[in-house]
Structure 1
Amino acid sequence: MQLNSLLIFVISMLVASSIYAEPDAPYPANYQPLPSTSVAIVGATIMPADGEEFINGTLIIRDGKIAEMGQDVPIPSGMDVINAQGKWVTPGIIDMHSHIGAFSSPSIPSMRNGNEKTEKNTAEVWVEHSIWPQDPAFQRAREGGVTTMNILPGSANLFNGRSVVVKNIPAVRVQDMKVPNAVKGAKLACGENPINYAARGKDPFTRMGNMKGFRNAFIDAQSYLKKKQSGEIKQDLELETISGILTGEITTHIHCYRADEMATMIELSHEFGFKIGTFHHATQAYKIADLLAQEGIAVATWSDRWGFKMEAYDAVPLNAASLEWAGVQTIIHSDSSILAQTLNVEAAKAMAQAKRAEKNISRAQALKWVTLNPAETLGIADRTGSLTKGKSADIVIWSDDPFSIFAKADIVMIDGVIVVDRSAPVSETSDFLVGQSMEELENE
């Protein structure tokens, strides 16, 4: 039953040749679940994310999907059984803000393909055209329990380009990782980054310059939509993305730290009649939590990262908890190939801050921050994000309570197939992950 990473890699090349969905779309999502066996996970504490946890549970997987789950579930004959006594089972982690594959390892200039720093507006680029599926950071994220990720272009521009949602499987082509029918996304950025990293000789140089750039772009997109409807205009890749935001076909992922700038971006959305999807980073979101809840805007943030630049200084450790209490769709993200390996701990830290304030966040709520909430925001909650009958068996079996610093992802499954097994012989999928043991070095 146990497939090591190398075997999964080979199989993925064989099964991903046919189109799974979106056959008429350019660069279609070809993701195909790998062949799976029927599996029973027994004896674990199960945390489903859409309900309360229970101990000594059994979870049945058939055809890569969750078939049954409960405390007294009979195990059908012919099943592979995983004894998870003393362990914890959760849905696979979903990283709402990743740059893996675009800012690749090893971090040398030719591997930094996430920022197209040539114009203030590069809405025409798609980050999937930069992603290197063999980035070893994908494997390291899998080892941290990450089964799905929303990969974004960088934040050097006002409009940075389109995002892509991928299943974290080994692959050669990014299209074989690309999740069909996820909500299309575009990355925007306000604040310091588009000011500091603007192309030489190009505006913006100020925050008011940022807003001028946004407004002009949406005015151009409005005009483009009118001409497109009359058939009088050639396709424009930049305006296709921005007009897609206006029509609601494309959601927005907005890099924004300060409360006043988030409020200004909300006013921008009112001026041009589009819906903001998610503010990312948003370290001052706690200041306008009620407004964000009223607008139905999700927030993807860190547990306690702050102070690395001016607009990140006025952060508080209760940011995530205060958003949850206000009714905001709250998400803990990584924005880092390192933090992606410990998103369970990031959620635990934010939960602990609430406990210190003597106003608890439940374990179920904290688990949603890295599972069901991002799934809902990305439009894939019908398929993943919780341990619900009929959903994909994207599952992590943890060695310890997943909110413990000592917890390791012993087994990680995507669509019912094991992609990480700490008990199996190591078989790395990248030359960059292959190293020498201390014993080998000592014998040289």
Structure 2
Amino acid sequence: MLRKPLLIFAVCSVLSACVSTTSSGNKTDGVGLTDAENASYVPFQSTYKIPDSPAYVVRGATILTGTGAQLDDASLIFSDGKIQAIGSDLDLPESAVVIDGSGMWVTPGIIDVHSHMGVYPNPAISSHSDGNEIVGPATAKVWAEHSVWPQDPNFEKALAGGVTTAQILPGSANLFGGRGVTLKNVPSITMMGMKFPDAPHALKIACGENPKRVYGEKGGPYTRMGNVAGYREAWIAAKEYDKKWTAYEDKVNKGDESAEAPGRNLEMETLRGVLNGEIKIHNHCYRADEMANMIELSKEFGYEIAAFHHAVEAYKVAPLLAENGICGVVWADWWGFKQEAFDIVRENAALLEMAGACAIIHSDDEIQIQRLTQEVAKVLSAANDMGLEMTRGQVIRWVTYNSAKSIGLEDKIGSLEVGKNADVVLWSSDPFSVYSKAEKVWIDGALRFDRSNKTVRPTSDFNLGIITPEGDRP
């Protein structure tokens, strides 16, 4: 039986003891706080820090900016975690690491808005299956981040595919599956060390077959109309909860010392966060008619939907999605594995783009996350065969800028623009080619992956003593 050196565990223990669990200036826990104080306290805050890194220049590459443009024979300069300049004939900073990008391509870091890394990790065994809280149809109270296993080897595989940011979602068994979390794809002992600072939470909602299948024999919902009734009942309760807390907060703001805080309810706190615009809805929904129903529901209760995921029939309601500012998050060609997944066209994302809607390609899979640009390429090929004449500059946004927009981070990531985070991927060739590989990956300007340098290839603590740096078992 293989055993890891005791030193590894000792080092990990020391590092764990040194990791702060909250940002400076915040209380360390909620013990002894009143309901009102607990309601304003923000637990599980990010402890991620940008590491010190040299300035980098990638010179003479083909750059897809994520804004729709393609720059040929151009250069990119980044330092201090930010993009400093992009274009031709740039003044190079002193002491910068200069990389010859001739024949290579540069894109923003790839963003997967639908991943279960860490909550359905590998090894994929029952003791690691932490993505679905299948105890009732409404479990908005749970947070996916509390299931994330930072040592999941899937994270490093995704990094090698250029993925710098991932939204980790609960599964889709429930009407309300819980909160999703956005993580930076960096090695960390704790989830908080990966958590994207100040990124909004998501709320995972599921339409259609999944809640019916899971709860149909457990007291419901048994039908799609039962699903909708379940959503409405929950939102009615959330509106009442919001009303009580808003009245209390108004009294406190007016200096009323006799104001008594309503009792806290974790389920309702999440739904209230949606009503207040603090939490973004990411809605598992395949069929066009159900997307229209969910839009009606959002108007009835006064909240917004950020995106429909697995939206196989999004092309049928593309103008409706564009009108309501909702992203269609789709696969290139997954279909037919259940009835609601049958009516797909490979041009789905392209037709959303042509209608002026926000199109996104996602993985929902530990293998597909490693080749998201190739998934985009499938749609690009089908779209151009159809005569839509789309460009690489356009479609790279389906896994960069549009993805960032759906998770509320388009001001920080998703495109290579001066002042934005330096999440950068250097590809060996055209990233839409099956022969292209991510050669180097930077997150906030720090080199996190280098295919040619084994010392810059992170591996999970779980792998230490199990695989060698070359990937072989000892």
Residue in structure 2 matched with residue 65 of structure 1 by the alignment: 82
TM score, norm. by length of structure 2: 0.87
- C-alpha distance 67-12 of structure 1, shift in aligned 2 (>3 A): farther
- Structure 1 distance, partners of 2:281, 2:383, is 29
Deviations 1:178-235 (A, max 9, x none): 1122222100001011111228623111111111111111111111122223446310
Residue aligned with 1:304, SS: coil
Residue in structure 1 matched with residue 344 of structure 2 by the alignment: 315
Q: Which amino acid aligns with 1:340?
A: I
Are 2:115 and 1:104 aligned?
no
- Structure 2 distance, partners of 1:21, 1:325, is 46
Are 2:174 and 1:157 aligned?
yes
Residue in structure 2 matched with residue 196 of structure 1 by the alignment: 213
- C-alpha distance 104-128 of structure 1, shift in aligned 2 (>3 A): same
What is the deviation of 1:425?
2.1
What is the deviation of 1:50?
1.3
Larger Cα-atom Rg:
2
Residue in structure 2 matched with residue 352 of structure 1 by the alignment: 381
Residue in structure 2 matched with residue 92 of structure 1 by the alignment: 109
Residue in structure 2 matched with residue 338 of structure 1 by the alignment: 367
Q: How does 1:7-86 map to 2 (within 5 A)?
A: 17=20, 23=26, 24-86=41-103
Q: Which amino acid aligns with 1:228?
A: W
Deviations 1:349-402 (A, max 9, x none): 111111010112221110000001111221212211111111111110001101
TM score, norm. by length of structure 1: 0.92
Deviations 1:376-431 (A, max 9, x none): 22121221111111111111000110111111001011111111111012655224
Gaps in structure 1 of 5+ consecutive residues: 1-5
Residue in structure 1 matched with residue 314 of structure 2 by the alignment: 285
CA contact (8 A) 2:448 2:458 kept: no
What is the deviation of 1:68?
1.4
Q: Which amino acid aligns with 2:164?
A: T
- Structure 1 distance, partners of 2:89, 2:127, is 54
Residue in structure 1 matched with residue 448 of structure 2 by the alignment: 419
- Structure 1 distance, partners of 2:217, 2:187, is 38
Residue aligned with 2:308, SS: strand
- C-alpha distance 152-12 of structure 1, shift in aligned 2 (>3 A): farther
Are 2:209 and 1:180 aligned?
no
Are 2:416 and 1:383 aligned?
no
Are 2:395 and 1:366 aligned?
yes
CA contact (8 A) 1:45 1:53 kept: yes
Residue aligned with 1:244, SS: helix
Q: Which amino acid aligns with 2:75?
A: T
Among 178, 181, 187, the residue aligned to 1:170: 187
What is the deviation of 1:438?
11
CA contact (8 A) 2:21 2:192 kept: no
Q: How does 1:239-258 map to 2 (within 5 A)?
A: 239-258=268-287
Residue in structure 2 matched with residue 303 of structure 1 by the alignment: 332
- Structure 1 distance, partners of 2:110, 2:339, is 30
Q: How does 1:256-267 map to 2 (within 5 A)?
A: 256-267=285-296
Residue aligned with 2:353, SS: helix
Residue aligned with 2:215, SS: coil
- Structure 2 distance, partners of 1:440, 1:417, is 27
CA contact (8 A) 1:15 1:34 kept: no
Residue aligned with 2:305, SS: coil
What is the deviation of 1:297?
1.0
300-309 vs 138-147, which moves further = 300-309
Deviations 1:135-172 (A, max 9, x none): 00000000000000111110000000001111100001
What is the deviation of 1:253?
0.4
- Structure 1 distance, partners of 2:56, 2:329, is 34
Among 148, 169, 175, the residue aligned to 1:131: 148
Q: Which amino acid aligns with 1:127?
A: A
Residue in structure 2 matched with residue 3 of structure 1 by the alignment: none
Q: Which amino acid aligns with 2:387?
A: E
Residue aligned with 1:149, SS: strand
- Structure 1 distance, partners of 2:169, 2:202, is 9
- Structure 1 distance, partners of 2:16, 2:69, is 38
Q: Which amino acid aligns with 1:423?
A: S
Task: Provide the aligned length of Structure 1 versus Structure 2.
Answer: 435
CA contact (8 A) 1:100 1:135 kept: yes
Residue aligned with 2:222, SS: coil
430-439 vs 350-359, which moves further = 430-439
Residue aligned with 2:371, SS: helix
- Structure 1 distance, partners of 2:470, 2:164, is 31
- C-alpha distance 16-147 of structure 1, shift in aligned 2 (>3 A): farther
CA contact (8 A) 1:91 1:371 kept: yes
336-345 vs 42-51, which moves further = 42-51
Residue aligned with 1:59, SS: strand
- C-alpha distance 365-60 of structure 1, shift in aligned 2 (>3 A): same
Percent identity, please: 47
- Structure 2 distance, partners of 1:15, 1:163, is 27
What is the deviation of 1:75?
2.0
Residue aligned with 2:192, SS: helix
Deviations 1:13-59 (A, max 9, x none): 79964855894511112221122111111121111111422222221
